[in-house]
């Protein structure tokens, strides 16, 4: 009824200790963070320990994957798995950000007018965005969308272009274009983060200033964190490109990071429109 | 037929490691599936023990054993651990064991990631359970974690939030693994519409997990920042809204209940055709029904919040969408019954569980329809009627189909038959005790007894005593299950490749237990 196909076998890796190391790291990080939040002195040390273990795990695990990749253990089918895996991972990130965007829209469109309607509680409160809410008595000066944020939009969009240019270089075997494109992308990413840090420093409100401050810093903060992560990933790809790990045909690691970078880019556009501009 | 003696297989992989390292560093879907199942069984007994304490306290009116604060910790942790520690991991355990075997894949798509998904669970479980022993005790605001109550507690609240973050990471990675395995690793010829229904239900469940676990992560991150970083997401004074948490939570929470029931549907849809010795009736409509239920699960969330308050238009919308779910669910129940029609049915233990599932889950579905009606729901909100409803869908729905699935595949996994007589005794005790425990709760709820209270008015005493007695019997019966499983793992009559003559999915072409690496070269499905 069934017969053997003669295709390549799917690579099933040998036993690995890294997942367990990663779990220990996350347990230490989470326990340390809980202690830190509740002012136990052991908290920061436990977190540092967890972070250290996590870094060792990341180096070990990704190192193993790179070794296996270079040894040619990944068939086309494994490559397709990586593509599906990365696509679904990005989908989960989309879901993560839509939660925070949902909170922003809910606060502005539903909660704000309802609070303004509560005449008995807060007769002077009007639903005008940006708002720190009826109870805090804070007048907010929002960040001007057409200052640093517009510049950052330009920077991030350009970085999307440079990473694509690097990809063209890789596909056409132009190593210099690949490395230059990656370096430019990383540079633009770092520039974006620096400007974002500067903007945080200049901003006239904090995360404690009502719902506007909360949604602003939560959305831009998580986005900034993702840009940082993307920049680190791009740097790894840069060093791998320098080491000549990629061929014109097989370079999914590069593509995965490029996908991620474009995703971060799209999130920024939404942030620019809904957090800074409108 | 597939044989493990293919010389290419012997050299393709390292041989099975042994001892401690076999389990902690495993990249084998069968070993990891086994780990998931044992972990969930442990958590099932732990959270079950909490339920025993709850029923002991409620045996009689008045405070019997515990202070109210501790009682609230019991109900909260019982719910949280049963959902995240027992039911979800056991279903992932089934997916690990069965999905590769049923689609003819050599393993999961990402074997190392698979191991991490599992080993995050003990880490998260340690954090969660140890929160019982910190100052202030465990979380006590209900598994739904509503603010403002949840913002006010001690360190246990942070531990639980972070534990849920780790559980979420585990779930998302597990789901990405399962969805990739199903999309990319099916044997040649295994088209999507030839997949066993269990695989279909997990494909859709994995999608739900990836879509909604991040939303839970959002909501509890906001709780954490409201607790410690001065944000006002859920504080009206700062322009936030505690009701927003409920929206976010239930946007996760309602798909979550389908995450717990859809794979159970898959198990039942596998067991019933086997023992009716007929193909599943209406396979295509079953697939569409599961997909419809998954879609609808995204637009019904606020039916958990009718009593919280919302505009009339919102109430009508969520009431109608909720009632719409009865249609695809009805299609499924109809198909299960139609599969039985004129079948040559035998009543082995898995079949008994599957049949009880159809009957009892239908009761839970009907009480769900009752609760979908806004005026009725406002009356019944937070009463024991709701407790009865979700135990009919979660215990006699999810948990009992999981037990049925365990009995069904245990011969395949261990190579031994379980004790059929003991299995049947376990089934009947469980079914009877379950109904003694939870059926009276419908009456308690209709009469107005609120849930999550350690003490109650005298008129509720009789039904509570009956429920407690049923509960103790239900708890004790599960020891039979544990004994039967352990005995089956240790030995028993050889199962043979295909102990159930009506079973026709790919796993039954393998030996029992299957070789450590099965389907290293894929079979060709005609």
pLDDT, mean over chain A: 94
Q: Taking Cα atoms as reference points, which of B214, B206, B210 lies closest to residue B178?
A: B206
- Known catalytic residue at B308: no
CATH code at position A128: 1.20.120.80
Same domain (yes/no): A94, A210: yes
- Given a contact cutoff of 8 angstroms between Cβ atoms, the answer to whether B194 and B283 are in contact is no
Tokens at A64, concatenated = 């193993």
| Residues of B (127-156) whose Cβ lies below 8 Å from A | 127, 154-155
Q: Does B367 touch chain A (CB under 8 A)?
A: no
Mutation for B interface: A84, A126, A205, A207, most B CBs within 10 A: A84
Shortest Cα–Cα distance, A30 to chain B (Å): 6
Assess whether pLDDT exceeds 50 at residue B6. Answer: no
Q: Taking Cα atoms as reference points, which of B108, B12, B101 lies closest to residue B513?
A: B101
Same domain (yes/no): A42, A124: no
Collect all residues with Cβ–Cβ distance below 8 Å to B108 and sequence separation of at least 6.
Answer: B29, B32, B96, B99, B100, B114, B177, B178, B181
Say yes or no: ipTM exceeds 0.90.
yes
Same domain (yes/no): A85, A68: no
Same domain (yes/no): A155, A272: yes
Chain B residues near residue A208 by CB distance under 8 angstroms: 229-232
Across the A/B interface, how many CB contacts are shorter than 8 Å? Answer: 255
**pLDDT of the residue at B13:** 46
- Known catalytic residue at B15: no
Q: Does B235 touch chain A (CB under 8 A)?
A: yes
Which of B13, B451, B452, B498 is an active site residue?
B451
**Which is more confidently placed, B180 or B7?**
B180
State how far the Cα of A255 lies from the Cα of A263, in Å rounded to an integer: 12
Proportion of chain B above pLDDT 90, given as a percent: 94
Place of tokens 């347990």: A27
Q: Show which of A74, A102, A118 is a domain's final residue.
A: A74
Q: Taking Cα atoms as reference points, which of B363, B345, B342, B365 lies closest to residue B272?
A: B345
Work out the angle at residue B462's Cα, subtended by the Cα atoms of residues B458 and B463, and round it to the nearest 5 degrees. 110
Proportion of chain B above pLDDT 70, given as a percent: 97
**pLDDT of the residue at B305:** 96
Q: Three-state DSSP class for B163?
A: helix
CATH code at position A65: 1.10.287.70
pLDDT, mean over chain B: 95
The pLDDT tens digits of the residues spanning B207-225 come to 999 999 999 999 999 999 9
Same domain (yes/no): A59, A93: no
Mutation for B interface: A35, A47, A54, A88, most B CBs within 10 A: A88
Same domain (yes/no): A116, A88: yes
CB-closest option in B26, B122, B215 to A15: B26
| Residue B9: pLDDT band with limits 50, 70, 90 | very low
| Residue B10: pLDDT band with limits 50, 70, 90 | very low
Scored b (16 or more CB within 10 A) or e, B70-106 reads bbbbbbbbbbbbbbbbbbbbbbbbbbbbbbbbbbbbb
Same domain (yes/no): A97, A137: yes
Place of tokens 């972990």: B39
Assess whether pLDDT exceeds 80 at residue B16. Answer: no
B494 φ, ψ (degrees, to nearest 5): -60, 140
**pLDDT of the residue at A8:** 67
**pLDDT of the residue at A138:** 86
Dihedral of CA B307/B311/B316/B317: which sign? negative
State how far the Cα of B410 lies from the Cα of B417, in Å rounded to an integer: 7
Same domain (yes/no): A70, A169: no
State how far the Cα of B26 lies from the Cα of B16, in Å rounded to an integer: 9
The pLDDT tens digits of the residues spanning B470-489 come to 999 999 999 999 999 999 99
Range of the domain at A235: 78-277
**How many independent structural domains does chain A possess?**
2
Assess whether pLDDT exceeds 80 at residue B8. Answer: no
Same domain (yes/no): A89, A57: no
Judge: A111–B159 Cβ closer than 8 Å, yes or no.
no
Judge: A106–B241 Cβ closer than 8 Å, yes or no.
yes
| Residues of B (6-25) whose Cβ lies below 8 Å from A | 6, 8, 12-14, 17, 21-22, 24-25
Same domain (yes/no): A140, A210: yes
Which of B78, B391, B416, B426 is an active site residue?
B78
Q: What's the CA dihedral at B266, B271, B276, B282 to 10 degrees?
A: 10
Task: Show pLDDT as tens, one digit a residue, over chain A (278 residues).
Answer: 333 343 468 999 999 999 999 999 999 999 999 999 999 999 999 999 999 999 999 999 999 999 999 999 999 999 999 999 999 999 999 999 999 999 999 999 999 999 999 888 888 898 898 999 998 888 889 999 999 999 999 999 999 999 999 999 999 999 999 999 999 999 999 999 999 999 999 999 999 999 999 999 999 999 999 999 999 999 999 999 999 999 999 999 999 999 999 999 999 999 999 999 98
State how far the Cα of B86 lies from the Cα of B93, in Å rounded to an integer: 10
- Known catalytic residue at B171: yes
**pLDDT of the residue at B336:** 98
Q: How many CB atoms lie within 10 A of CB B12?
A: 16
Same domain (yes/no): A236, A120: yes
**pLDDT of the residue at B209:** 98
The pLDDT tens digits of the residues spanning B99-120 come to 999 999 999 999 999 999 999 9
Same domain (yes/no): A117, A17: no
**pLDDT of the residue at B242:** 95
Taking 3-state DSSP, the helix, strand and coil percentages for chain A, each rounded to the nearest 5, stand at 75, 0, 25
Look at A134-143, B142-151, B460-469 and tell me which has the smallest mean pLDDT.
Answer: A134-143
| Count of residues making up chain B | 526
Is the backbone peptide bond immediately before B133 cis, with ω within 30 degrees of 0?
no
The pLDDT tens digits of the residues spanning A197-228 come to 999 999 999 999 999 999 999 999 999 999 99
The pLDDT tens digits of the residues spanning B436-463 come to 999 999 999 999 999 999 999 999 999 9
Q: Show which of A51, A74, A97 is a domain's final residue.
A: A74
**pLDDT of the residue at B15:** 59
Q: Show which of A55, A74, A93 is a domain's final residue.
A: A74
């Amino acid at each position: 009824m069934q017969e053997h196909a003669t295709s390549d076998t799917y690579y099933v890796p040998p036993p690995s200790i890294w997942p367990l190391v990663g779990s220990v790291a996350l347990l230490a990080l989470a326990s340390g963070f809980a202690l830190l939040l509740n002012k136990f002195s052991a908290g920061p040390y436990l977190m540092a320990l967890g972070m250290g273990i996590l870094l060792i795990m990341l180096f070990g695990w990704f190192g193993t994957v790179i070794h296996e990749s270079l040894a040619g253990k990944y068939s086309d089918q494994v490559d397709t798995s990586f593509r599906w895996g990365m696509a679904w991972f990005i989908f989960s990130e989309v879901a993560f950000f839509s939660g925070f965007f949902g909170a922003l829209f809910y606060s502005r469109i539903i909660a704000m007018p309802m609070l303004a309607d509560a005449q008995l509680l807060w007769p002077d409160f009007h639903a005008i965005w940006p708002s720190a809410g009826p109870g805090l008595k804070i007048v907010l000066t929002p960040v001007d969308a057409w200052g640093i944020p517009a510049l950052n939009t330009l920077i991030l969009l350009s970085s999307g272009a440079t990473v694509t240019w690097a990809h063209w270089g890789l596909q056409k075997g132009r190593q210099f274009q690949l490395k230059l494109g990656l370096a430019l992308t990383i540079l633009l990413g770092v520039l974006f983060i620096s400007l974002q840090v500067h903007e945080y420093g200049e901003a006239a409100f904090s995360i404690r200033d009502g719902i506007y401050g909360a949604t602003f810093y939560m959305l831009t903060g998580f986005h900034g964190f993702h840009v940082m992560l993307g920049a680190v990933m791009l740097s790894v790809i840069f060093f791998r490109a320098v080491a000549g790990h990629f061929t014109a045909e097989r370079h999914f690691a590069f593509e995965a990071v490029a996908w991620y970078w474009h995703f971060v880019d799209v999130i920024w556009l939404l942030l620019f429109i809904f957090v800074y501009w409108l | 037929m597939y044989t493990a003696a293919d010389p290419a297989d012997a050299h393709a992989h390292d041989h099975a490691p042994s001892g401690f390292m076999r389990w902690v560093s495993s990249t084998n879907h069968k070993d990891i599936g086994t780990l998931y199942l044992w972990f969930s069984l442990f958590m099932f007994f732990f959270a079950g023990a909490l339920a025993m304490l709850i029923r002991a306290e409620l045996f009689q009116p008045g405070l019997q054993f515990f202070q109210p604060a501790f009682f609230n910790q019991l109900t909260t942790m019982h719910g949280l651990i049963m959902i995240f520690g027992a039911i979800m991991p056991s279903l992932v355990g089934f997916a690990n064991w069965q999905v590769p075997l049923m689609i003819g894949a050599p393993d999961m798509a990402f074997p190392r990631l698979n191991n991490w998904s599992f080993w995050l669970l003990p880490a998260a479980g340690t954090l969660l359970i140890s929160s019982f022993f910190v100052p202030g005790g465990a979380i006590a605001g209900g598994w739904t974690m509503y603010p403002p109550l949840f913002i006010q507690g001690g360190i246990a609240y942070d531990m639980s939030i972070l534990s849920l973050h780790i559980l979420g990471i585990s779930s998302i990675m597990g789901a990405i693994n399962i969805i990739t395995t199903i999309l990319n690793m099916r044997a040649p010829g295994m088209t999507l519409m030839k997949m066993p229904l269990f695989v279909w239900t997990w494909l859709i469940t994995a999608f739900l997990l990836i879509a909604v676990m991040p939303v839970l992560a959002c909501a509890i991150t906001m709780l954490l920042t409201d607790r410690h970083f001065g944000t006002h997401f859920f504080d009206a004074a700062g322009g936030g809204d505690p009701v927003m948490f409920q929206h976010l939570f239930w946007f996760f929470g309602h798909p979550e209940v389908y995450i717990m029931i859809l794979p159970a549907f898959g198990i039942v849809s596998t067991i019933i055709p086997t023992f009716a010795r007929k193909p599943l009736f209406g396979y295509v409509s079953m697939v569409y029904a599961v997909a419809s239920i998954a879609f609808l699960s995204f637009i019904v969330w606020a039916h958990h919040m009718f009593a919280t308050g919302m505009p009339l238009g919102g109430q009508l919308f969520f009431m109608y969408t909720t009632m719409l779910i009865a249609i695809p669910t009805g299609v499924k129940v109809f198909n299960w019954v139609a599969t039985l029609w004129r079948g040559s049915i035998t009543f082995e233990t898995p079949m008994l569980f599957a049949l009880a599932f159809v009957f009892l889950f239908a009761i839970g579905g009907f009480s769900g329809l009752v609760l979908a009606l806004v005026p009725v729901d406002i009356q019944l909100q937070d009463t024991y009627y709701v407790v009865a409803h979700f135990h009919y869908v979660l215990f006699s729905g999810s948990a009992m189909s999981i037990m049925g699935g365990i009995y069904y595949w245990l011969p395949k996994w261990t190579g031994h038959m379980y004790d059929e007589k003991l299995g049947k005794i376990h089934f009947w005790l469980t079914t009877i005790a379950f109904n003694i425990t939870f059926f009276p709760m419908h009456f308690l709820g209709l009469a107005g007894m609120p849930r999550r209270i350690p003490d109650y008015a005298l008129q509720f005493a009789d039904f509570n005593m009956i429920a407690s007695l049923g509960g103790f019997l239900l708890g004790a019966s599960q020891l039979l299950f544990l004994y039967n499983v352990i005995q089956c793992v240790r030995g028993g009559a050889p199962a043979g490749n295909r102990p159930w003559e009506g079973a026709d999915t790919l796993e039954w072409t393998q030996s029992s237990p299957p070789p450590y690496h099965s389907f290293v070269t894929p079979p060709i499905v005609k």
